[in-house]
């Protein structure tokens, strides 16, 4: 009830311009919470399909490992399940100016500023995206299978990801629980990069504990491919940042922008939008930019418990916030000098 009243308070604090957005956010989340039932009830229900029963049993095992072996929050999150009847839980709208590789910030009470705005309706998300396009922004809309309420509510397992392969299911659960453990207001890149480091370490330990080493090799190979792609995007973003601050004409900057995208699409035609789009670059960078330096933090810490403590300190101090526009990736040596 206290958490529900907090959501109502957010609506009362919001101005007329944003009250509709907060209303859809509160209503969309409460609809999901209302649809959730404890895993045990799904497992004991004769009407539950056998395939879903198997996925829920696996998810329960993953959830237990998260708290007992990874030190992630031991609460009601991911101990219930909800059928949504749609492909994604939310749709995130990213925006960036035509000649900028920095995200348009969206600021909210409690969570601070983030680099996107989320909607529980794809129609609402695309309507908002169109409004931003009319204002001259580059816009990228991405469907998201899960989200975190940072421990305010018991987030349920969802039909949008329950049928993922085991390593990917574990990755997602560990990632979202990591957001409940450490969260830096106004720093989406830190938060997502921290969660990625936790998820990868968590999946490694879980698969090793289950003796599934062949699957671990496959998971590592997939993650490496993702990192190679992220590095390509990072390089594109950095070169465009230099072009945008070079003082060149708008036509010249548009030409450079088009050239960079043609190169990126040439290597990844199935992942990169056809039209040059700074917001797409932002959506990829948020999840990867600080991963290497945070992996070094974990290595130096020597244990997950010490890593979490150090991450909390860094989240509070902001030492790992990146300069704008983005420069070369932070190195472990730079981390040590800042520590």
pLDDT tens-place string over residues 19-52: 778 888 889 999 999 999 999 999 999 999 999 9
pLDDT of residue 326: 43
Q: Kindly indicate the confidence band of residue 16, based on its pLDDT and cuts at 50, 70 and 90.
A: very low
Q: In the β-sheet with 37-38, what is the strand arrangement from edge to edge?
A: 37-38, 80-82, 157-158
Average pLDDT, the chain: 88
Mean pLDDT calculated for residue range 172-188: 95
pLDDT tens-place string over residues 116-127: 999 999 999 999
Mean pLDDT calculated for residue range 234-260: 96
Q: Kindly indicate the confidence band of residue 320, based on its pLDDT and cuts at 50, 70 and 90.
A: low
pLDDT of residue 332: 33
Query: Does residue 255 surpass a pLDDT of 50?
Result: yes
pLDDT of residue 243: 96
Query: Does residue 64 surpass a pLDDT of 50?
Result: yes
Distance in angstroms (rounded) separating the CA atoms of residues 168 and 166: 5
Provide the whole-model pTM: 0.87
Pick the more confident residue, 327 or 106: 106
Query: Please, where are the H alpha helices in the chain?
Result: 2-13, 16-35, 39-44, 50-70, 122-134, 166-181, 188-209, 213-244, 250-267, 278-285, 291-301, 304-317, 332-338
Answer whether 295's CB lies under 8 Å from 197's CB.
Answer: yes
């Amino acid at each position: 009830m206290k958490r529900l009243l907090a959501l109502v308070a957010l609506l009362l604090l919001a101005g007329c311009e944003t009250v509709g957005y907060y209303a859809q956010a509160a209503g969309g989340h409460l609809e999901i919470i209302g649809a959730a039932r404890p895993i045990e009830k799904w497992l004991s229900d004769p009407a539950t399909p056998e395939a879903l029963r198997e996925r829920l049993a696996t998810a329960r095992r993953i959830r237990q490992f998260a708290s007992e072996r990874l030190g992630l929050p031991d609460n009601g999150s991911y101990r219930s399940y909800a059928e949504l009847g749609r492909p994604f839980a939310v749709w995130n709208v990213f925006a960036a100016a035509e000649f900028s590789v920095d995200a348009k910030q969206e600021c909210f009470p409690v969570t601070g500023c983030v680099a996107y705005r989320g909607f529980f309706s794809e129609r609402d998300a695309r309507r908002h995206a169109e409004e931003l396009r009319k204002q001259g922004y580059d816009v990228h809309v991405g469907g998201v299978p899960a989200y975190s309420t940072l421990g305010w509510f018991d987030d349920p397992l969802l039909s949008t990801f329950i049928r993922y392969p085991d390593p990917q299911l574990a990755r997602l659960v560990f990632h979202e629980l990591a957001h409940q453990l450490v969260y830096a207001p106004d720093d989406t890149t830190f938060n997502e990069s921290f969660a990625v480091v936790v998820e990868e370490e968590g999946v490694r330990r879980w698969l090793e504990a289950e003796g599934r080493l062949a699957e671990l090799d496959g998971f590592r190979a997939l993650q490496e491919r993702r990192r190679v792609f992220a590095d390509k995007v990072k390089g594109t973003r950095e070169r465009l940042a230099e072009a945008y601050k070079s003082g060149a004409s708008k036509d010249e900057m548009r030409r450079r922008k088009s050239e960079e995208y043609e190169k990126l699409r040439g290597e990844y035609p199935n992942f990169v939008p056809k039209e040059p789009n700074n917001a797409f670059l932002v959506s990829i960078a948020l999840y990867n930019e600080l991963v290497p330096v945070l992996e070094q933090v974990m290595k130096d810490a020597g244990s997950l418990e010490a890593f979490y403590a150090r991450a909390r300190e860094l989240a509070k101090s902001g030492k790992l916030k990146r300069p704008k526009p983005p420069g070369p990736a932070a190195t472990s040596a730079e981390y040590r000098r800042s520590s």
